[in-house]
Amino acid sequence: MKLNTAKTVAMVLAAMGAMAAAPAHAGKTLDAIKSRGQVVCGVHTGLAGFSAADSNGKWTGIDVDVCRAVAAATLGDPEKVKYVPLAAQARFTALQSGEVDVLSRNTTFTLTRDASLGLSQTAVVYYDGQGFMVPVKSKIKSAKQLKGQTVCVQSGTTTEKNLTDFSKSNNLGIKPVVFEKLDAVEGAYFSGRCIAYTTDASGLASVRNKSAKNPADHLILPELISKEPLGPLVRRGDDEWRAIVTWTVYGLLEAEEAGITQANVDELKANTKDPAIGRMLGATEDTGKLLGLDKEWLARAVKATGNYGEIFERNVGPKSALQLPRGLNNLWTKGGVQYAPPIR
């Protein structure tokens, strides 16, 4: 029997629409998280502003807030996170082996990491670039003045490779002094073993604030020699979990753009007449079912951490100890490059 072509097309489109609207399966990672009642998050061993624990074991920082937002979205409680501090050399193995569910540890997205580690990059949380810090007394004002000089750097990082590239391309003959552990790198620089210390500019600001006897004695040079888009990674093969982590970050950005804050999220959820805000907060539509979550997933994330701008200001912004400008990390509507796909 020959089917009517128009009728056949209509049936196919209807089936596709039904599939698109169907709730997503939670995925094996989320199933495991719900079973244990905890998100296991790999973080830095101690980088102020990004992930660091205080004397009471309380973790704070941008990367920590990503973990808290994900826990709020998935488990309904931002405190249901187990933090696993990881050195640079161990971070990828910990994620690959299943020791952690997500790696939220100032890690740069690169082609090699995306294509060869069995991991998936999610959303950029912080746009950074590699810089140099020198003692003010060295009188060095530019990275081009580091010809033949010693530079402290951590091994197993993009930082080490970028330093080699920069030295070769500018014929500087820089002498890298390489250490495996961050504490050793910092100690060598502050003891005078190297004339300069290189890592992400945000990391330099963190180290200067935390470890220098007098931060004013150290200058972060103006040049950035690389692109360092930092964000969380997950294991490849669980697209549902990747989507949850990715859209949690995007949701925090969208919340800032829409004016949704930690203080007003409940009021907006109850009373907004804005269709976009209603959709984001689960008041008018249920976007959570597409992620294997409930409709208030994003409202809980914002309630737990604030929107992206609030997270930035609290941890690293001009009013924080690090005093970093928004710069590239401002919203696209304010001259930055933070631009999230729409939640709809």
Q: What is the pLDDT of residues 253-272, one digit of tens each?
A: 999 999 999 999 999 999 99
CB atoms within 10 A of CB 202: 25
Q: How large is the average pLDDT for residues 213-241? A: 96
Q: How large is the average pLDDT for residues 301-326? A: 96
Q: 46 with 53: CB under 8 angstroms?
A: yes
Q: 276 with 268: CB under 8 angstroms?
A: no
Q: How large is the average pLDDT for residues 166-172? A: 97
Whole-angstrom Cα distance, residue 120 to residue 237? 9
On the question of a common fold for 28-127+230-326 and 132-226, the answer reads yes
Instruction: Tell me which of 130-134, 206-210, 247-251 is least confident.
Output: 206-210
Q: 148 with 172: CB under 8 angstroms?
A: yes
Q: How large is the average pLDDT for residues 319-323? A: 91
Q: How confident is the model at residue 338 (pLDDT cuts 50, 70, 90)?
A: very high
Phi/psi of residue 139, nearest 5 degrees: 65, 10
Instruction: Delimit the domains of the chain by residue range.
Output: 28-127+230-326, 132-226
Which positions ≥6 away from 195 have C-beta within 8 Å?
134, 135, 138, 140, 146, 149, 150, 151
Q: How many helices (H) and strands (E) does the chain have?
A: 13, 14
State pTM to two decimals: 0.88
User: For residue 25, what pLDDT is reported?
Assistant: 61
Fold of domain 132-226: D-Maltodextrin-Binding Protein; domain 2 (3.40.190)
Share of the chain above pLDDT 90, in %: 88
User: For residue 9, what pLDDT is reported?
Assistant: 42
Q: How confident is the model at residue 27 (pLDDT cuts 50, 70, 90)?
A: confident
Q: How large is the average pLDDT for residues 179-200? A: 95
Q: How confident is the model at residue 182 (pLDDT cuts 50, 70, 90)?
A: confident
28-127+230-326: CATH architecture = 3-Layer(aba) Sandwich (3.40)
- H-helix or E-strand containing 48? none
Q: How high does pLDDT run on average in the chain?
A: 93
Give the tokens for residue 244: 């949850």
Burial code (b: 16+ CB inside 10 Å, e: under 16) for 82-104 equals: ebbbbebebbbebbeeeebbbbb
